[in-house]
Chain A
Amino acid sequence: MAARTQVERSRLLAQRWRGLFYLLVGLAILVFFTSETRPDQIATLGLNTTRSVQWVRLPDLVVPVVPAVWVLAAIVLALGMRDLVRPFRRGGWLLGIASFCFLAAFLVWAARGTSFSLIGILSASLQLATPILLGALAAILCERSAVINIAVEGMMLSAAFTSVLVANLTGNIMLGFVAAMATGALLAAWHAVLSIQFKVNQIISGTVINIFAIGMTNFLNQRLMQEYTDLNNEVTFPYLSQMFPDLGKIPIVGPLLFDQSPIVWLALILLIVIQVALFHTRWGLRTRAVGEHPRAADTLGIDVFRTRYINVILGGVVAGIAGAYFTLGSVGRFDKLMTSGRGFIAMAAMIFGNWTPIGALASSLIFGFADALQVKLQILIGQVNIPYEFLLMLPYIVTMIALAGVVGRVQMPAADGQPYEKQ
């Protein structure tokens, strides 16, 4: 009984800290983003794109900077206050709103006295969120069956490499895409054999794959692609708006949703499929049973090993799609270490989203927004007196904050990370 009260007490204390944290974030918004701003300054946020022809041109959104920052800060302060007085049970969405307010205030402040394409940044957010979302979905598939997969990064990197290689070798982009999925599946199978069969610590097994992926892609990149540069020609899927030109002309929705690679749509479809499958099908129930209580699942006749193998390999396929997005979905060529830690950020997005696909979507969008801000703000560099390196750090720091449990209580699969010993 005594132990329980101590747990309760430490949880209460943690929630107090969480409330204080949000109050600090609110204050930070006020202090930072009203500092170098004159009260009459406005920010012009564009709703049109220059790229596609539109049916109607929308007027730009004109936002007075100081009042906007005040409103955003007030929202965070109010939520923080409420959290301090009467803590919210689940804090995921709270962090989501707070991060969104912070980033929006930052955006308005950075655009003070000038104009800035809002559509551009939102569309970039979706693009940058896609690999994180896919990576998080891959990790969710594994972890719901209690296999930790920190190798998403390595699978993405390797898949990005093979997709370009195979697409150029065969001259067929679809084959490149299939190769990416196969690479992910193959590495995942390796991870599965090590962690399920040989019961190697899953984090070590993941690290093996991450290091292998770095070595393999760098090695083959230098030995093949730099030797025979034709193997690294640009190959990308056409945007949806290029396939169906009319879709791109719809205001806002056109540039936002249809000036995108089909992989973005595939990610959104996968999101729904996995969400439904996990929570509303027999397969999902079995997977979750294996992740929560493998012994009980085994007793009921579910093959724990088989379920885990299937889930880990499916996760690998999804991670492979994420890897293909880096190349076939956006830049079209392979570049050394091009995933730059997005696989780890995907892990954070998964945790942040409480091991659910929908939660992962929300958190990847926030990460994508932070990423996009950082990319786009390099244009406004004179406006923002922050060295761009600090903007580049932003996603990584957000990841650490998310991991530090500002989210509040997360409910990971109970058996996560434990190898199953059949009796």
Chain B
Amino acid sequence: MARSPEISQARVSMWQRVANAMALPVLSLLSALVLSAVFILGSDLKVLTAFSQFFSDPARALLTAGKALADAYGALFIGVFGDPAKIFKEVGEFFATGDTQGLAIAFYPFSENFVTATPYIFAGLAVAFGFRCGLFNIGAEGQIYVGAAAAAFVGYSVEGLPWIIHAPLTFLAGALAGAFWAGIAGFLKATRGAHEVINTMMLNYVAFNLIHYLLNGPMKRGGAAGTIPISRNIVESAYLPTFFPEPIRFHAGFIVALLVAVLVWWLLFKTTLGFEIRTVGANLHAARCAGINISRNFILAMAISGALAAMAGAGEVMGVNHNLAEGFSPGYGFDSIALAMLGGGHPLGVVLAALLFGTLRNGATKMQSLAAIPIDLVSIVQAFVIMFVAAPIIIRRLYRLKTEVGGQMILMRGWGG
């Protein structure tokens, strides 16, 4: 039986829609990577000297530049996937002898992508949730630390509880601390109209100082006699379980993160609260006219956003580090701004973007050690990504796209609103 033309047309337009939705983030990322290459080349003296003789020896200039880029991006590849030769060898070994240790070592780099993606999912959801309510939460980094501190405290000070109670309790303690921390900014926004961008930024600095104080005072391992600013290890009953032999660090936090992403999707798109939050984000005036309590939604959205960000910190403490240390987050919170924008503020998009960012940061670490490219390159990439996603018109002109890409996703207000 022949298919009716309407159905096939619908099929096509769905694919069209997917392609449309993917075009902006993919092209943005691509353009950002190309632009960042300029920084790699521009800060490489060998390349610069080669280019200074470009007219006498153009081949050498191009070759040097090509080699610098190949080194950098090759290191990125190895950082992301591990050494392919080693993986083949160990897989063969495993089938021959059943040795899992070598296999674990070979797959370690690849598994790290998911370990790094875990905090990114949480933090990305946090920022995306804020976007949905028209709030720009750039304080995820501070919320991560506050959440980690609360989780670490509950993790090491409560003893003798079974795992099934202690682990969720620790996780929730972290989330609540983050909710409170971000809630301050939400409260100030709702009651005083103070802009959350500056307040969350200020709360970041307050949080960093607070953590520094805690780790050199009340939470310091070994009390006043302790020498390193690091907390005690949490009790084993607060660990998030791992599944694979050492050194693979993949832990249950990744699965929790995926579940939380589903939960956020449900909350945003299937509940009244989510509808209200999205309405406030989309059109403040309409929301006010519809009798939605805007202050309440601002505070709630900010608190939920903070809780999500804090889960990233709690997850790192419970699944990876098992203690609180200064600088344990290499900027997950800051990265998550670009990540949430790349993910279009949608939980599914955030999960995909988080996997990508986890991979990127993981690879960038290798790039730093193998090709001496500082990891801060990631921030430069991010700045360009945010720019392209926020200004789709640049991408459209650059690639001469005929169709509209991306939508007006984020609506934020100035100082007053």
**Residues of A bordering B, CB below 8 Å:** 148, 150, 194, 198, 200-205, 207-209, 211-212, 214-216, 218-220, 222-224, 340-341, 344, 347-348, 351, 387, 389-390, 392-393, 396-397, 399-400, 403-405, 412, 416-418
CB distance from B199 to the nearest CB of A (A): 6
Whether the pair A148, B415 counts as a contact (CB closer than 8 A) is yes
Whether the pair A344, B138 counts as a contact (CB closer than 8 A) is no
Contact of A219 among B43, B212, B217 (CB under 8 A): B43
Q: How far is the CA of A340 from the CA of B201 in the complex (A)?
A: 11
Contact of A222 among B197, B213, B376, B394 (CB under 8 A): B376
- Closest-by-CB residue of A relative to B414 is A417
User: What are some 16 contacts across the A-B interface (CB < 8 A)?
Assistant: A148-B414, A204-B412, A207-B197, A212-B380, A215-B383, A216-B379, A219-B379, A389-B216, A400-B188, A400-B194, A400-B202, A400-B203, A403-B199, A404-B188, A412-B414, A412-B416
CB distance from B292 to the nearest CB of A (A): 17
Contact of B374 among A203, A209, A223 (CB under 8 A): A223
Q: How far is the CA of A416 from the CA of B201 in the complex (A)?
A: 21
Whether the pair B205, A340 counts as a contact (CB closer than 8 A) is yes
CB distance from A212 to the nearest CB of B (A): 3
Whether the pair A397, B202 counts as a contact (CB closer than 8 A) is yes
Q: How far is the CA of A101 from the CA of B42 in the complex (A)?
A: 52
Which of B99-107, B166-174, B312-320, B384-392 is found at the contact surface with chain A? Answer: B384-392
Would you list the 6 A-B pairs with minimal beta carbon distance, nearest first? A417-B414, A215-B379, A212-B383, A218-B376, A389-B213, A215-B380
Whether the pair A208, B387 counts as a contact (CB closer than 8 A) is yes
Whether the pair B412, A215 counts as a contact (CB closer than 8 A) is no
CB-defined contacts of B91 to chain A, threshold 8 Å: none
Whether the pair A403, B188 counts as a contact (CB closer than 8 A) is yes
Q: How far is the CA of A203 from the CA of B216 in the complex (A)?
A: 36
Most chain A beta carbons < 10 A, residue from B374, B383, B384: B383
CB-defined contacts of A204 to chain B, threshold 8 Å: 136, 386, 390, 410, 412
Known: A344-B202, A399-B198. 16 other contacts (CB 8 A): A201-B410, A205-B387, A207-B136, A207-B386, A212-B383, A214-B379, A215-B378, A218-B376, A389-B210, A389-B216, A390-B213, A393-B205, A403-B194, A405-B193, A416-B415, A417-B414
With contact pairs A215-B376, A219-B376, A387-B213 given, residues A418 and B414 touching in the complex (Cβ less than 8 Å): yes
Whether the pair A390, B209 counts as a contact (CB closer than 8 A) is yes
- Closest-by-CB residue of A relative to B383 is A212
Q: How far is the CA of A177 from the CA of B407 in the complex (A)?
A: 42
Whether the pair B390, A200 counts as a contact (CB closer than 8 A) is yes
Whether the pair B198, A347 counts as a contact (CB closer than 8 A) is yes
CB distance from A123 to the nearest CB of B (A): 25
CB distance from B386 to the nearest CB of A (A): 5
Whether the pair B138, A207 counts as a contact (CB closer than 8 A) is yes
CB-defined contacts of B373 to chain A, threshold 8 Å: 223
CB distance from A421 to the nearest CB of B (A): 14
User: Is there a chain A Cβ closer than 8 Å to B382's Cβ?
Assistant: yes
CB distance from A45 to the nearest CB of B (A): 28
Q: How far is the CA of A61 from the CA of B378 in the complex (A)?
A: 54
CB-defined contacts of B216 to chain A, threshold 8 Å: 389
Whether the pair B206, A218 counts as a contact (CB closer than 8 A) is no
User: Is there a chain A Cβ closer than 8 Å to B377's Cβ?
Assistant: yes
CB-defined contacts of A340 to chain B, threshold 8 Å: 205
Q: How far is the CA of A223 from the CA of B390 in the complex (A)?
A: 29
Q: How far is the CA of A128 from the CA of B393 in the complex (A)?
A: 41
Near A by CB (< 8 A), chain B positions 207-266 give: 209-210, 212-213, 216-217
Whether the pair A224, B43 counts as a contact (CB closer than 8 A) is yes
